[in-house]
Structure 1
Amino acid sequence: MSYSQPQLRTVAVTRYAKPLREGGSLPALVEADDDFLYVLKFRGAGQGAKALIAELVAGEIARALGLRIPEIVFATLDSAFGRTEPDEEIQDLLRASEGLNLGLHYLSGSITFDPLVTTVAAKLASQIVWLDCLVTNVDRTARNTNMLIWHKELWLIDHGAALYFHHSWDNWEEQSRRPFVQVKDHVLLPQATELNAVDAEFRTILTPERIQSIVSLIPDEWLTNESTLESADEQRQVYVQFLEARLASSEIFIKEAQYARKALV
Structure 2
Amino acid sequence: MNAIELSGVNKSFGRVEALRDLTLDVRAGELTALLGPNGAGKTTAISLMLGLARPTSGTVRVLGGDPLAGRVRSHVGSMPQESAIPQALTVRETVGLFARLYPRPLSVDAALDLADLRDVAGRRAGALSGGQARRLAFALAVVGDPQLLFLDEPTTGMDAASRAAFWHAAEGLREEGRTILLTTHYLEEAERTADRVVVMNAGAVLADGTPEGLRARVATGRVRFTSDLVLAELRALPGVEAAEVSGGGHADLRTREPEALVRALVGSGVAFTGLEVTRASLEDAFLSLTARPQGVRA
TM-score for both structures, normalised by structure 2:
0.25
Structure label with greater radius of gyration: 2
The structure with the greater share of residues assigned to strand is: 2
